[in-house]
Amino acid sequence: MPVTAVAEAAARSAGVKETAEPWPIEEAAQELGEGFAQALAISQRVSATRTREALGWRPSRPGIVADLVEGSYA
């Protein structure tokens, strides 16, 4: 799940602009702190398939995007 998809779902849920836009890392670091800004900048992805296989993970709730748009955050 790309960070951009999570950001856009959170924006939709909050009723604000739904399109993620680039944010200069220097500005983000001032607002969020250097470490968090750097972590978001690399746009990490998690593979549910690989995680399920490697750890035997069996999620029972909606994913983050669905939960942001339709679930407890909506």
Question: Which of 49-58's residues contact partners 24+ apart within 8 Å by CB, and which partners?
Answer: none
pLDDT in tens, 2-36: 888 888 898 888 888 878 888 899 999 999 999 99
Range with top average pLDDT, 27-31, 60-64, 67-71: 27-31
User: Is the pLDDT assigned to residue 50 strictly greater than 90?
Assistant: no
Total-model pTM: 0.64
Q: What is the number of domains present in the chain?
A: 1
Domain that holds residue 26: 3-70
Instruction: Give the separation between CA 8 and CA 17, rounded to whole angstroms.
Output: 8
